Structure 1
């Protein structure tokens, strides 16, 4: 969703080239496919080690790539808060909570809840960044909240304690990412280029590894061959490679376009989950997805003319 003030005109974005569009679709498909892969991997890898191994492998690859292309450097002083924010909140905490939640709930509905960060970001921008919401933004927020209520409430009302823990973890994961988005929006003069990716993944990997060792013990799961396939997908592919594309999306596209594109991640996750795990596409889930889609698409529409003379507020 757009977080700009209604008094600020929308910025025109550059046309998306064919190759870049292919990369965007690839990133969405990889991240969407990551949900059933994580559910599968949760059978072999404990949640903290799952998150740790993902970012350890991603950090190793991104440091190697950065060194090979001559972009390996220390972050500047003003860049460290963003590096720490992305590494701890968006990468480390978000991933640890999500992988833990998948031990309690199915990946389809889980992916929708975890990626509903805009539900937190829009009101958060009004409260934290003191940005006023336009009429379209208020309408979009209403549809987003309604969609989330339709998706979450039936599941919560019928969930046992086991499922409730999973949904609470997903809500916390979504909030963690939203806090990082607000941090980035409030930080001026720092670009999220590839130069920072190795350090962001390292910041996520170090505390997760220490915590995994302390809580879950030695990584005995490495003796299981299936674990290596899962780590290869979630680390180098779904983290290092995909974040390269997503960082470029963040730089080149408007927040509205990025939000709409990222909505494709839970759509892919839900579709694959229904095919692989037989997760039912119930009426409430489909209706909730439709309302959230509407909430994310409304800000992308041409701005409405709010004429006070006609009594329209």
Structure 2
């Protein structure tokens, strides 16, 4: 996505990502004879994934990449646990263990360490970018809660065309109004990026993420997704020569500790659930 911003605006990059994913998924499912409309129960969840997890998350994260380095940005954007664990308790009324609250506290501390440099000295653009990333993670967290709250409805790969198509419509409309016509379509270097971010990093990846979101508890899902920034930091340090500073390493370490604490809490809690009441 960082490379794509060299050829197109954040909104057009987001729109092209989901538009290409919609086209390829319609083609593949049509050839397999698995293309179908969502049911009445599926439509709200399809719209939630499209507008929150796909549209809002991607648009905010892409916009923030103009102000924040990709490695640091990936850590904040994927730190959905700072929202999901409290929301699980408030909205889903799930009883969280002490270990899960400790994991939440560690993830908050990690995010605090990572964003602190933007405030001393004050860097307005960086602060705006960080706020967008936190908004992106909150949008995704809301969708995780929505999916878990409706676990009786399972979304499969045959919903990807509708999710990506719904996400594309508002993104393309906003991009056209703000940035004009998609002139990047005539740039040869932009097409490999579109074809990767759409069919591979969107259509294929969202199938995996959706399955994980619907099978695992919200806290486990959000903590597991923190593995993404680890890869993001490594790739960013190699491709963009992003320096893994002391504050970034400490913040990532705290978030890593939250992953370990959450995993440990889940293992300790599981035997208790098997005891007769």
**TM-score, with normalisation over the residues of structure 1?**
0.81
- 1:27 match: none
Change in 2 beyond 3 A, CA 1:140/1:260: closer
- 2:155 match: 192
For 1:67 and 1:226, how far apart are their aligned partners in 2?
29
Displacement of 1:117 in angstroms is 0.4
For 1:179 and 1:257, how far apart are their aligned partners in 2?
15
Change in 2 beyond 3 A, CA 1:279/1:86: same
| Match of residue 38, structure 2, among 75, 79, 86 | 75
**Superposed, which structure 2 residues align to 1:1-313 within 5 Å?**
38-251=1-214, 258-301=221-264, 302-303=267-268
Q: Is the 8 A contact 1:97 1:169 kept in 2?
A: yes
For 2:107 and 2:53, how far apart are their aligned partners in 1?
21
Where does the alignment leave 5 or more consecutive residues of structure 1 unmatched? 1-37, 306-313
Q: Is the 8 A contact 2:61 2:133 kept in 1?
A: yes
Displacement of 1:250 in angstroms is 3.7
Q: Deviations over 1:13-62 (max 9, x none)?
A: xxxxxxxxxxxxxxxxxxxxxxxxx1111111111101000000000011
Displacement of 1:246 in angstroms is 2.5
Number of equivalent positions: 268
Q: Deviations over 1:274-309 (max 9, x none)?
A: 11111110111111111111112212223179xxxx
Q: Is the 8 A contact 2:106 2:255 kept in 1?
A: yes
**TM-score, with normalisation over the residues of structure 2?**
0.91
For 2:248 and 2:47, how far apart are their aligned partners in 1?
35
Displacement of 1:196 in angstroms is 1.2
Q: Is the 8 A contact 2:110 2:250 kept in 1?
A: yes
- RMSD (Å) for aligned C-alpha atoms: 1.8
For 2:23 and 2:121, how far apart are their aligned partners in 1?
43
Q: Is the 8 A contact 1:256 1:296 kept in 2?
A: no
For 1:263 and 1:133, how far apart are their aligned partners in 2?
19
Q: Is the 8 A contact 2:79 2:223 kept in 1?
A: no
